[in-house]
Structure 1
Amino acid sequence: MRVLVLGAGRIGTHLIRYLSHESENKLTVIEKSKVRCKEVSNEFDATIINGDGSSPRILKVADLSNSDLLILATDNDEVNVTAAKYAKKQFGVPRVFAISNSPKNTSRLKDSGADVVVCPVELALHDLESMFFEEKSNTLLDRPELDLKIIEGLIPVNARIIGKRLGEVGLPEKCTVSLVCRNGGYIFPNPELELRSGDRVLLMGESKAVEDSIELLRSREEA
């Protein structure tokens, strides 16, 4: 398999090392730093090109049009986005794998042509959240025949609604926040209550409305 890797930083180097274990893989690496180019050249059996991965000229020199896989692993999402666009629209690369340095750029990379996007920041936030709050939600009552559900849900560390008043959140009409647990105590909420990370809220109402409300509480702020 012919693989072109953009970026030989920490993540890029790990991916190059992994791919180099398979002898049938033919690796080409584009790296902007001359120092890193020399280091990678000394460590791996790969074609090394010193240049800007967002440049069509450099991508052409790297023979991107004949690559089976493009890996975007630079620490600059703008470079990754630009290269993804060229890869699909100009060079016809069948598969593009991208590392997103910020969650806010994950969708941009997908829209630009990346088939798979991984964001280490999102993974870290997920693990951190799991470490502190193992149980994100707990169904206390589910009565399908009455279309009634009660769920205890957690507001995660990077939720969009943090700092907003309850009345500003826009929960579905058929769902009510009946209780908020905070710092070992509880609050009977009113529309002026400001929501905080780590709050556990008791949601009650029609099943679909409660489920939609849980998703709203969990929706994350872009980093």
Structure 2
Amino acid sequence: MERNIFMKGAIFNVNNLIVDTNQQQFDAWRELAMYEYGLGLPGKLAPQLKNLSAAAALPIVLNQLHQTADEAEQAALLAEQEQMYQKALDSLDESSVMPGIERLLINLDDHYVNMGVVDNGGHAELILKQLQIADYFTAIIPNEGDPYSAFAQQLSAAPNECIALATTPADIDAINQAHLISIGVGDAEMLSAADYQVAQTGDLRYPMLRKVWEDHHENK
């Protein structure tokens, strides 16, 4: 197979691209609510907590439970929820990988594209191992400062030699500011700033990503 000398790297956000961990997060909040307060959380609360950090979700959970907590108590609750979330991640396995992602990882690997993930909460390594896809990735980049530029630098690559895939406008903006080629996955209007958009992970194909990369460079 001819070695790919063009696209050097592809970096993914973990949640909603590689796997959906919102259920595990909500399971951890439910366990915390029952353990600490003897109260349940209704399923209708789950959409409000979707994609939120634990720190952002905690006030919503406390409000739902009609509870208050001072700063020290909140820190203790967050530490406890973190332990429960890590335990909930044990439920992940290879069947939890988002549709089309493993095929894409195989194709990128076949074309010598280095792959990385942005680690938003310190769980990426555990999640990738649970999903049995850790061997595809050469870099786990903490979500601190500019993770996308850090990924390109780790590969000794120019930013526009790499692509980055994300599901939120904030992440697409960060990718564009770092000058990687941005691929939005989700609502096209919401992700209109991306260089290219697809509706869902199952629509991602290596030839399409390669064509986006080539078109981007032809237009420069």
Structure with the larger strand share:
1
TM-score computed with the length of structure 1 as normaliser:
0.38
Which has the higher Rg, Structure 1 or Structure 2? 1
Q: Which has the higher contact order (CA 8 A, sep 6+)?
A: 2
TM-score computed with the length of structure 2 as normaliser:
0.38
Structure with the larger helix share:
2
